[in-house]
Structure 1
């Protein structure tokens, strides 16, 4: 069975930017490389419509910024926008997207011997809040 995706290219870009941006934001906050790799694997392992969108080969993820703050200014609103897009067009995929991103975040927060740095913990909370803001 295949899934018919009727999202616009812009909507797909919002979802990819939000999900991969969340992982990039955690990396920028100081998450270990290995943990970030695990989080990326979570995103590419997603299922359903979200999985199809996140697994697609694309060059539409643009995350400019020279600081964590600049990256957060783009990623956090993208997370909220992604939840809104799915809520309007595919309400059944809202929990899938949120859950996928949060498992990716947990892959970072739950890794490492000494636990995550305070900056990574704070960023994880901000990502969760952005997902819940829609």
Structure 2
């Protein structure tokens, strides 16, 4: 009779162990991983080559002129450019001078890619703060 109970007892013990084992880590942000992004701005109306910079966060660096302001803005939205909310928008003119911004790289170990077009530089800066201010 003991023989018949042993396999069931082992199964029960295994089920209990599974319940006590923490779930595997979900893939996502690694707070210790550095963030490195290649950023570019194209002024479509001028037909000039793209301006490009590198932004490093954690630690702050790269050749971005406002890295100390851009990194906290990205940290606030965990590197998700679509969630940027830089505050009240200034009154921009209705001038049509299209500007395209793009970013690619890694935010705390997670791949990031973003591209957006704005009617002019005022609207682009209003939407992205210091991130694309170069």
Q: Same fold (TM over 0.5)?
A: no
Structure scoring higher RCO (CA < 8 A, sep ≥ 6) equals 1
Give the structure with higher Rg (CA).
2
* TM tier, smaller: under 0.3
More helix by share: 1
- TM-score, normalised relative to structure 2: 0.26
More strand by share: 2
- TM-score, normalised relative to structure 1: 0.26
